[in-house]
Chain A
Amino acid sequence: MAEEKVETIIVHSAVYRTEYTNKYRNRVRWEKPDDNQILSFMPGTIIDVFVKPGDTLKKEDPLLVLEAMKMHNNMLMPFDGKIVSIHVKPGDKIPKKYVMLEVKAI
């Protein structure tokens, strides 16, 4: 038997009994971004990967090329650091927010 789910909203420590809207139920919850993950900002295709695990790079060194919206986008190293792992290869079609690479500052 489905138990009745009580929906509440808390404003200034007071708990109000109410119903959520679908839009609120389906909202995207905020998560702290992990700076060490290089995510795709749009869905697209990997054209080229210039690095391999263990490589040491300077800030703004090219990492890979992601084709999205018919544009070739150079993804750059966000800070001086090392490549930890690579999760894509040329030809891969990837969705938005896909972890393409993991890096680490040095």
Chain B
Amino acid sequence: MSLKRNILDLRKRKDEVLKGGGEKAIEKQVAMGKLTARERILYILDKGSFHEYDMFVEHAARDFDMDKMTLAGDGVIIGTGTIDGSPVCIFAQDFTVAGGSLGLMHARKITKIMDHSLKMRVPLIGINDSGGARIQEGVNSLAGYGEIFFRNTLASGVIPQISVILGPCAGGAVYSPALTDFVFVVNQISKMFITGPGVIKTVLGEEISMEELGGAKVHAEITGNAHFYAESELECFEQIKQLISYIPWNNTQKAKVREPAKPTFKKKIENIVPADPKMPYDIRDIIKAITDKSEFFEIMELFAPNIVIGFGRMDGQTIGFVANQPKVMAGVLDCDSSDKAARFIRYCDSFNIPIITLEDLPGYLPGVDQEHAGVIRHGAKILYAYSEATVPKITVIIRKAYGGGYIAMNSRHLRADFVFAWPTAEIAVMGPEGAANIVFRKEIAEAEDPDAMRQQKIQEYKDKFANPYVAAAQGYIDEIIEPEETRKMLLHALQVSANKSISSPAKKHGIPPF
């Protein structure tokens, strides 16, 4: 007897599931400017690499006449595939099926693929597009979220976890993305919030649109919940592929090494930086002047742009860059920038990515708002993250390295492996203006012409302390280098650090100032 009948039956069943929520629901999805869950997976993964599991899982709701309904795949697609040849696990909520709502079996499919990715030590990509909890399934739906959050936490620092918000993601659902390493959002499509505009209007009388409350721009620029912002889903998928190219499969491996290449940035590195430490420039130009092919993949570009973080390559190896940005907010550390940098440092440390720190900052941002927002505990995060990190840590002081900012930005004292300084570097407790005002307060006050005296004393202080040699005399700086030598020195330092091995006291875990 031929197997044909069984095979045809299987195909028919699969075709049925592939229809998702049906034509009408898909039309609606398209009308919202969104791709379908399956299309999204196919765009992200290598052609022909996707393999789906649990297609025939049925939902578990029995109340409210739900037992009479069939929900294709229970509203979520799970599977494995590859990106640029590297294996990944992936799930995508299907908004066309019961609004992508999360019930017991829906959650069980997600936790199944999460368990799989943790066991196989490969990255996990989750595409969120869901109306939220399936209310008909009650506490089972809440249990489902809890099981997901628990696994996000367990997998944190072991495998890369990526969340892609391509639709609504509201209420408790937001906490899965929040626990993952990188969150991608798309303009007009992503909506994330704990409490929606409707409730806010009812109880608080504040009227706000979904986009203004929790749209992509809001999370990329104001809340810092999102790491990557795109104008379209296709742009977002390209960003995901690029990110995957920079990071390793798991915390026991290193990122894939590419063919080494020279920078293509034409401007001479020393011409980027103004001699006056009070004048701005774009620190990203310095990064591009030293990375392979002058490529820099920036993370959280719009949030706290006074610090720049992202990946580049040096001699083919992935490097995490942390750099003060004089162009924005004079490059100060504040609550947001400390938070942003600290999390990135911990990411690099977890995934064996060396960190290069480019330093040029006047210190912490003064202000009542900062103090009251907790700049003490937020600022402490960056100290904690640098101190704790055991990957190769190299610092280049470009110009200003004042006070607490100097200590925080991967100084020798936090166990930096190499600290280099340009001859323009100024390592001091504060800038000459502030220092002269304090040290020579009496002379300035008693002078016939206090302003002239102040300028004279500022100059005296500048001549004596506004340089890298005082710190170098103490051995806090390893070498003072010419700007053009920066890449060469960094490559050498990375080479020397390749087998770095240090140990810290045994502990269950530290208690960082979260």
Contact = CB atoms under 8 A, between A and B. Distances in A.
A11 B431 contact: yes
Given A9-B330, A42-B204, A16 B280 contact: yes
B369 A21 contact: no
Given A16-B278, A17-B278, A23-B222, A30 B368 contact: yes
B474 to A, nearest CB: 22
Contact of B203 (A10, A11, A27, A69): A69
Size category of the A interface is: 20 to 34
Nearest to A27: B369
B362 A11 contact: yes
Contacts of A19: 280, 327-329
A3 B49 CA distance: 57
B326 A18 contact: yes
Interface in A20-45: 20-24, 27-30, 42-44
Given A11-B362, A12-B363, A70 B327 contact: no
B280 A18 contact: yes
Contacts of A8: 330
Interface residues of B, number: 38
A13 B431 contact: yes
Contacts of A22: 221
B219 to A, nearest CB: 13
Given A30-B368, A30-B369, A69-B203, A9 B431 contact: no
B402 A12 contact: yes
A72 B366 CA distance: 39
A14 interface: yes
Contacts of B280: 16-19
B216 to A, nearest CB: 15
Given A12-B431, A13-B433, 14 more contacts: A9-B332, A10-B366, A12-B433, A13-B431, A14-B431, A16-B278, A16-B362, A17-B330, A18-B329, A18-B331, A20-B329, A23-B221, A30-B372, A43-B205
8 contacts: A10-B366, A12-B430, A12-B435, A13-B433, A14-B362, A22-B221, A29-B369, A93-B205
Interface of B: 203-206, 221-222, 278-280, 304-306, 326-332, 336, 362-369, 372, 402-403, 430-435, 437
